[in-house]
Structure 1
Amino acid sequence: MIIGIDGNEANIENKVGVNQYCFELLWAFQKLQDEGECKHTIIVYLKSNPLKDLPKPTRSFRYKIIPGGGAWIIKKLMPSLFRETPRPDIFFSPNHYVPPFSPVPRVCSIMDLGYLEFSGQFKKYDFWQLNLWSAYSIYVSKAVIAISNSTKEDIVRHYPFASRKTFVTLLAYDKKKFHTGIHPNDVRRVRDKYSIVNDYVLYLSTLKPSKNVVGLLKAWGEVKKDFPGIQLVIAGKKGWLYDSIFAKVKELG
């Protein structure tokens, strides 16, 4: 079988969320090939040459570069799928945006439907693109991958027709990076740098309204009344509309 994958989410310098998801999937596919557990050929479609941190091409894992800019999926990817031979047996989009028309079955991954619950936190263009294209992707895809049971429940609630074709594949972690074998000196250095004196709870995420960091801060204001010796440590890059988060931190002291 030939599996086509839209790899553009992984082909950027600063990876967050779905970018990291796609990046890890590509490496996982190649690892499975190396271990002999995946006999399929993987073709990764990109707008530009792969960055150095992406898997190196092999006989059964290769890249297809289709240069292009705006509306790349429609203008470049979709025509290529119809023209090329041999074409993939299935095409996987690790995001909400499958090719609108395709000669082969499509599969998409849905991170969440937060844009439906927090539409005011998105620019109008971004909201309507997510709203309409996601609904279409869910409708036409042979299978829909949800990254959590909560996401699946949201998909089925908004799109009941997708109940039998939505599957949950829980996210994993990199045990080489996330483990308990950390030298105490490294812990001490970081704690000193950020003035973390007491026991603490760490929240790690992009700082933006849809992550409900303000809600976390409000809740923590109540928690610390009973547990004054524990600190809340929030870490992550600044997303969009993050001013309210910093304002709430200042308000709560």
Structure 2
Amino acid sequence: MIIGIDASRAFIKNRTGIEEYSYQVIKHLVNELKGHEVVLYLRKNSANYEFDADARMIDNVKLPANWKLKVIKWPRFWTQGGLSLEMLLNPVDVLFVPAHTVPFIHPENTAVTIHGLEYEFCSGAYSLWEKIYMRCSIKNSCRWAKTIITVSNNTRKDLVKLYGIDESKIKVIYEGCGSNDNLQTAGDKPNSNVKSRISNTEYRIPDTKYIFFVGRLEERKNIIGIVSAFEVLKEHYKIPHKLVLAGKPGYEYGKIKEAIANSNYTKEIVELGFVGGGEKKELLKNADVFVFPTFYEGFGLPILEAQSVGTSVVTSNVSSIPEVAGDSALLVDPNNAEEIADAIYKILTNEKTKEDIIQKGLENVKRFSWEKCAGEVRSILNIGN
């Protein structure tokens, strides 16, 4: 049996949500599919990955002898052009697409992971072209795939309600966490000088306390709401903390930058840009609170990343977040800056509440693992060990 996997998003630099999911699932499928011939399809971009042919290593993933890489050279519309042509010329028995888009030409046994329908619920956070493209792409992928994987029950319900997808085609498989897999990538040295770098001028964070957010700096993540809540904390509660934002700029970043610049506390707000796994781990670990009041998430992996290192979480009460966090975080209305601020202040000032949230978070993380996720993916593909 030949199994094809779309790895075009997995082995890139500065991975975020969907890319991290693709990487972790493929990494853990290595142990699940050792007895099968597997082809990983990559885009032509040598800057994104390094393959050690002798060691059979790519981005800290050791490939079995029966796994191979196939670089598809295609300038635009890679999935519908290049990957479809590859399926026609060199068909496989099973195709797994970890991120949304199924090629027009595909085997009967094709599975696709749909992560969320953010563009349907946060329309102002996407351009018109992005909304049209994503809507068409996901609808077609759901129609073509034999099996649809969603990363939460919330996304499953959204697909059924908005697109009328046959519920029997959908299998919910949660993303993973645990063992700090998400916070450790090739080349990281989390035990070296990361902690000292956090407190020096490179990161502009002195030896003081801070509230932390990590994720793409875009409208959907409610960064302006975080800034507003921080202003409430400064004005009403006089907290000594800084607000630290880590992540790549996203859609409508200009508005976020303007809100930060116009804040009375702009000097207390630190932007770090993208941070890698080991640095992210230290930033999460040393934060007093991780704040994540997003407007919509298909899953909400940063919540688990924070909980895995013993940091308390304030997050939203919408979309998949209550499903993932349960009672292990303080849930708030993302549209209410004062409610966000009050929840943060409660953790900062009530040691019992903070410790309770931390312990529940550590227990919550145990529900999720990439090993379990990969095993369930293998199972729904009807592939034996």
Q: 1:79 to 1:176 in 2, by over 3 A?
A: closer
Q: Which position in structure 1 is the counterpart of 2:127?
A: 123
What CA distance in whole angstroms lies between the structure 2 residues aligned with 1:231 and 1:149?
35
Alignment of 1:89-238 (within 5 A): 89-173=93-177, 175=180, 178=183, 186-193=194-201, 194-224=204-234, 225-226=236-237, 228-238=239-249
AA paired with 1:5? I
AA paired with 1:43? V
Q: CA RMSD in A?
A: 3.0
Contact 1:201 1:231 in 2 (8 A): yes
Alignment of 1:22-61 (within 5 A): 22-33=22-33, 38-48=34-44, 51-52=49-50, 53-54=58-59, 55=61, 57-61=63-67
Give, in angstroms, the shift of residue 49 of structure 1. Answer: 7.0
AA paired with 2:260? V
Q: 1:247 to 1:105 in 2, by over 3 A?
A: same
AA paired with 2:86? S
State the secondary structure of the residue aligned to 1:74. helix
State the secondary structure of the residue aligned to 1:167. strand
Per-residue Cα deviation, 1:164-214 (whole angstroms, up to 9, x for no partner) = 3323332224626749xx769753541343234443321101111122211
Q: Which position in structure 1 is the counterpart of 2:73?
A: 67
Per-residue Cα deviation, 1:80-126 (whole angstroms, up to 9, x for no partner) = 32332xx3222111111101232322211122211122333333332
Contact 1:93 1:107 in 2 (8 A): yes
AA paired with 1:4? G
What CA distance in whole angstroms lies between the structure 2 residues aligned with 1:203 and 1:236?
8
Q: If the length of structure 2 is used for normalisation, what is the TM-score?
A: 0.56
State the secondary structure of the residue aligned to 2:165. helix
What CA distance in whole angstroms lies between the structure 2 residues aligned with 1:223 and 1:170?
34
Q: Which position in structure 2 is the counterpart of 1:79?
A: 85
AA paired with 1:60? N
AA paired with 2:5? I
Q: 1:219 to 1:141 in 2, by over 3 A?
A: farther
Q: Give the ranges of 4+ consecutive aligned residues of structure 1 lying more than 6 Å apart after TM superposition.
A: 182-185
Tell me the percent identity. Answer: 24
Q: Which position in structure 1 is the counterpart of 2:255?
A: 244
Q: 1:157 to 1:172 in 2, by over 3 A?
A: same
Q: Which position in structure 1 is the counterpart of 2:273?
A: none
Q: 1:105 to 1:32 in 2, by over 3 A?
A: closer
Question: Which structure ranks higher in relative contact order (CA pairs < 8 Å, sequence separation ≥ 6)?
Answer: 2
**Is the deviation greater in 232-241 or in 126-135?**
232-241
What CA distance in whole angstroms lies between the structure 1 residues aligned with 2:65 and 2:94?
19
Give, in angstroms, the shift of residue 45 of structure 1. Answer: 1.6
AA paired with 1:98? V
Contact 2:30 2:63 in 1 (8 A): no
**Is the deviation greater in 127-136 or in 99-108?**
99-108
Q: 1:138 to 1:79 in 2, by over 3 A?
A: same
State the secondary structure of the residue aligned to 1:157. helix
What CA distance in whole angstroms lies between the structure 2 residues aligned with 1:64 and 1:235?
34
Give, in angstroms, the shift of residue 137 of structure 1. Answer: 0.9
Contact 1:139 1:162 in 2 (8 A): no
- Ranges in structure 1 where 5+ consecutive residues have no aligned partner: none
Contact 1:95 1:110 in 2 (8 A): yes
Q: 1:136 to 1:184 in 2, by over 3 A?
A: closer
What CA distance in whole angstroms lies between the structure 2 residues aligned with 1:102 and 1:18?
21
State the secondary structure of the residue aligned to 1:109. strand
What CA distance in whole angstroms lies between the structure 1 residues aligned with 2:194 and 2:106?
51
